[in-house]
A and B are shown apart, each in its own frame.
Chain A
Amino acid sequence: KAGVTQTPRYLIKTRGQQVTLSCSPISGHRSVSWYQQTPGQGLQFLFEYFSETQRNKGNFPGRFSGRQFSNSRSEMNVSTLELGDSALYLCASSWLAGERETQYFGPGTRLLVL
Chain B
Amino acid sequence: GENVEQHPSTLSVQEGDSAVIKCTYSDSASNYFPWYKQELGKRPQLIIDIRSNVGEKKDQRIAVTLNKTAKHFSLHITETQPEDSAVYFCAASLSYGQNFVFGPGTRLSVLP
Contacts and interface: CB of A to CB of B under 8 A. Distances in A.
A56 B101 CA distance: 12
Contacts of B101: 45
Given A33-B99, A45-B101, A100 B94 contact: yes
Interface of B: 31-32, 34, 36, 42-46, 49, 89, 93-105
Given A90-B44, A103-B34, A105-B43, 19 more contacts: A33-B100, A42-B89, A42-B104, A42-B105, A43-B44, A45-B102, A58-B99, A96-B97, A99-B32, A99-B96, A100-B31, A100-B95, A100-B96, A103-B100, A104-B46, A105-B44, A105-B45, A106-B43, A107-B43
Classify the secondary structure of B's interface with A. loop
Classify the secondary structure of A's interface with B. strand
A56 B99 contact: yes
A45 B99 contact: yes
Interface of A: 33, 35, 42-43, 45, 48, 50, 55-56, 58, 90, 96, 98-100, 102-108
A35 B44 CA distance: 11
A98 B95 contact: yes
Contacts of B95: 98-100
Contact of B43 (A48, A55, A58, A108): A108
Contacts of B100: 33, 45, 103
